[in-house]
Amino acid sequence: MTAMLDPVEAITNAFPNAIQDVLEFRGEITLVVDSDYIVSVCRFCRDTKGLEYNFLSDVSGVDYYPQEPRFAVSYHLYSMVHNRSLRLKVYLPGDNPVVSSVTSVYPAANWSEREVYDLFGVYFTDHPDLRRILMPEGWDGHPLRKDYPLGYETVQFSFNFDEIDRHKPYARE
C-alpha cells in the first residue's frame, strides 16, 4: 500500500494556477478549481499514487442566484484505498454555465451530469449523451433554478370552498 499524500498539497503543487480556494469545514476538504482544469484535476486525483480517488460518488449543482458567479458544480470523490473523501467545486457564470464533462475520467458522471444539465441548465462539453433525464424533452426551462416560476394550487378550506370548486376540472359526462 502506498503512503497517503495530502490532497491539498499534491493538487496545488501539480496545478498551481487551477486551485482558486481551499475550504475546510468539519473535517471535509473542498478545493475550488478553475473550470478549465476540472478534467485534468480529476484525472490527477484518480491516477496519482497516494491519492487514488477512484470513485465519483456524486455530481451536484447549486444555484446562488442572484450572486455571480451564479452556479456551482460539486464533484464528490472518494478513495476506497485510503478511505477518505474530497470535494472539487467549480463556479460558473449565470449567463453561460459551461464546463467540461468528466465522463472520460469517471464514467459514472454520465447520469449525474445529465441531471445537473436537466435541472439547472449547466452545459457539459464533450458529454457522450447530454439530454434531459428527469423532465420531458419538450420541457421549457430548468426547474431547480431559483428564478424558475413556481406553480401552485390554492388549498381548499371551508371559507373558500365555492371559489376553489369553480376552478376544479371535473370529468364531464
pLDDT tens sequence across 94-121 = 999 999 999 999 999 999 999 999 999 9
> What distance in Å separates the CA atoms of residue 109 and residue 98, rounded to the nearest whole number?
16
Grid coordinates given for 27: 473535517
The mean pLDDT of 133-142, rounded to a whole number, is 93
Other C-beta atoms lying within 10 Å of the C-beta of residue 120? 24
| pLDDT score of 1 | 62
* pLDDT, averaged across the chain: 94
Distance CA 98, CA 125 (A): 7
Higher pLDDT, 168 or 11: 11
Q: What is the pLDDT of residues 142-169, one digit of tens each?
A: 999 999 988 777 888 999 999 988 888 8
Helix or strand (DSSP H, E) at 27: none
- The predicted pLDDT at position 149 comes to 86
Place of cell 473542498: 30
Would the pTM of this model clear 0.95, i.e. be above it?
no
Q: What are phi and psi of 131, to 5 degrees?
A: -150, 170
Residue with cell 474530497: 86
